[in-house]
Amino acid sequence: MSQKNDNLIAVLDVGSAKTRVLIAELNEGALRYRGHGIVESAGTRKGVIAEIRPAAECVNQAATAAEDAADATIERCVISVGGPHIRGLNSRGGISLGSRMREITREEVRAAVDRARSVSLPPDREMVHLLPQQFILDEQPGIHDPIGMVGNRLEVNLHIATCSASAQQSIVTCANKAGLEVTETVFEPIAAAEATLSADERELGVCLLDIGAGSSELIVYFEGSVAHTSVIPIGGDHFTNDLAAGLHITAPEAEWIKCNYGNAVVTSVSQSNEIELQGLTGFEPRMVRQRFICEILEPRARELFHMSRDNLRHGGVLEALGAGCVLTGGGARLAGILDVAESQLRVPARIGSPVPLSRMPSEMAQPECAVLIGTLLYTHRTSIMRAAEDNSLRAKLRAIFAGSL
């Protein structure tokens, strides 16, 4: 019989192509893989849930498969949110600490962050993360932790990650219908970064592009903080649809051809290679040059990175990519895509494979699982940070009241 276990953490990624659930166990501070379930998504369109019932059924199937593998039941999960509706914006705000110089407390840091976050958002926008980039104390920038420092005016530069409230609510509803309570939401590019980027890359400046099926999420880290987040409305499905239209074949056949014979660089495949296409019902199978397939894929890949480059330039971070570019998501598996990324962005590029959990099967350590694994790692890391904050608050209260007992 499956066991209920309070040490379990479950995460859910409702993608345009795949719905994924991962269950891990927290044992003496270390995360251990317990089980996962991955099913083809249904009811999603262009990166958002368009029909609740089929999408919820997929969540149910993926969660059940994960529970069976883990031999445990789950009641709660953390979700990731991404898609064409996500936005990031930078904001600045601060507080005066009065005329007398004194030490800055945690409450004052919170108050400064509250000022910086009080931007007016359009209706139906939800703030998912508030990410301090740097604090500025009496006009001295570059401070990461001002608690305990002394000054008159504290300001903060904040990156605010937002999403459509209704798109987020649709994922919550699907999880609820599958019997899962949602405890937290993580921005997909932040999750992918958590699973794949090193501290050195974040410090030097790095761009991560998670190429999903419906869209590609973009995040830039510089000097250790999030400098920019955005989304490019092109994903792997656009490549597949181009092939289906150009070759007059079905979308499933185009998907198979793309994954097995596709290449984003035409000149890297031999002129003489030919591939047999089944074609549409009623037509005879026929041969097509592999180069012709790549001639369809290459312009789409160029467009994806051209748009990424424009986006980075508008965000003022194109020159901040000292550590280059990292690609995650299933779309990163397209042969030749790194070459296109390097030539368009003019920085080195690599595939981001997520750091493996203890006992995790190797098929999970792939770029398309970066968001799922990163959501788990992010949840774990932030819960440790929150616990440390609570403990230090308790220690302070104990110290204050120690003399009065």
Ligand X SMILES: Nc1ncnc2c1ncn2[C@@H]1O[C@H](COP(=O)(O)OP(=O)(O)OP(=O)(O)O)[C@@H](O)[C@H]1O
**Which residues form the interface with ligand X (CB under 6 A)?**
15-18, 47, 82, 212-215, 235-237, 240, 255, 258-259, 262, 329-331, 333-334, 368
Q: Minimal CA–CA distance to 175: which of 71, 84, 85, 66?
A: 66
Tokens 């199978």, located at residue: 285
Site string for Mg ion, 211-230 (x = CB under 5 A): -x------------------
Supply φ then ψ for residue 270, to 5 degrees: -65, 145
Tokens 């003019």, located at residue: 346
Closer residue to ligand X, CB minimum distance, 45 or 396 = 45
266 close to 295: Cβ distance less than 8 angstroms: yes
Closer residue to ligand X, CB minimum distance, 17 or 97 = 17
Q: Which does 155 bind (CB under 5 to 8 A by kind): Mg ion, ligand X, none?
A: none
33 close to 372: Cβ distance less than 8 angstroms: no
- Residue 153 parent element (H or E): strand 153-164
If one asks whether residue 331 binds Mg ion (CB under 5 A), the answer comes out as no
Q: How far apart are CA 308 and CA 303, in angstroms?
A: 8
Question: Cβ of 173: how many Cβ atoms within 10 Å?
Answer: 17
Instruction: Provide the minimum distance between the beta carbon of 375 and ligand X in the complex, in angstroms, as a whole number.
Output: 12
Closer residue to ligand X, CB minimum distance, 35 or 262 = 262
Instruction: Provide the minimum distance between the beta carbon of 354 and ligand X in the complex, in angstroms, as a whole number.
Output: 12
Closer residue to Mg ion, CB minimum distance, 15 or 336 = 15
Instruction: Provide the minimum distance between the beta carbon of 84 and ligand X in the complex, in angstroms, as a whole number.
Output: 9
Contact stretch for Mg ion (CB under 5 A) within 100-108, 210-218, 227-235, 319-327: 210-218
Q: Which does 189 bind (CB under 5 to 8 A by kind): Mg ion, ligand X, none?
A: none
Q: Which two tokens stand for residue 237?
A: 């499905």
Q: Which two tokens stand for residue 362?
A: 């190797």
Q: How far apart are CA 60 and CA 119, in angstroms?
A: 37
Q: How far apart are CA 200 and CA 195, in angstroms?
A: 14
Closer residue to ligand X, CB minimum distance, 223 or 242 = 242
Give, as one character, the DSSP assignment of residue 80: E
Helix (H, G, I), strand (E, B) or coil at 333: helix
Q: Which two tokens stand for residue 326?
A: 């990292």
197 close to 352: Cβ distance less than 8 angstroms: yes
Closer residue to ligand X, CB minimum distance, 116 or 192 = 192
Residues 124-183 that bind Mg ion (CB under 5 A): none
Q: Which does 43 bind (CB under 5 to 8 A by kind): Mg ion, ligand X, none?
A: none
206 close to 349: Cβ distance less than 8 angstroms: no
Amino acid present at 335: A
Closer residue to Mg ion, CB minimum distance, 72 or 369 = 369
Instruction: Provide the minimum distance between the beta carbon of 47 and ligand X in the complex, in angstroms, as a whole number.
Output: 5
Cβ contacts of residue 100 below 8 Å, gap of 6+?
none
Instruction: Provide the minimum distance between the beta carbon of 15 and Mg ion in the complex, in angstroms, as a whole number.
Output: 4
Q: Minimal CA–CA distance to 29: which of 284, 384, 405?
A: 384
- Out of 12, 14, 15, 74, which residue is the one contacting Mg ion (CB under 5 A)? 15
Closer residue to ligand X, CB minimum distance, 126 or 203 = 126
Question: Cβ of 108: how many Cβ atoms within 10 Å?
Answer: 18
Closer residue to ligand X, CB minimum distance, 194 or 255 = 255
Q: Which does 205 bind (CB under 5 to 8 A by kind): Mg ion, ligand X, none?
A: none
Q: How far apart are CA 119 and CA 227, in angstroms?
A: 18
Instruction: Provide the minimum distance between the beta carbon of 188 and Mg ion in the complex, in angstroms, as a whole number.
Output: 6
Instruction: Provide the minimum distance between the beta carbon of 16 and Mg ion in the complex, in angstroms, as a whole number.
Output: 7
Instruction: Provide the minimum distance between the beta carbon of 78 and ligand X in the complex, in angstroms, as a whole number.
Output: 16
Query: Binders of Mg ion: how many residues, by CB under 5 A?
Result: 2
Residues 58-97 that bind Mg ion (CB under 5 A): none
Instruction: Provide the minimum distance between the beta carbon of 108 and ligand X in the complex, in angstroms, as a whole number.
Output: 39
Tokens 């990461």, located at residue: 144
Q: Which does 235 bind (CB under 5 to 8 A by kind): Mg ion, ligand X, none?
A: ligand X
Q: Which residues bind Mg ion (CB under 5 A)?
A: 15, 212
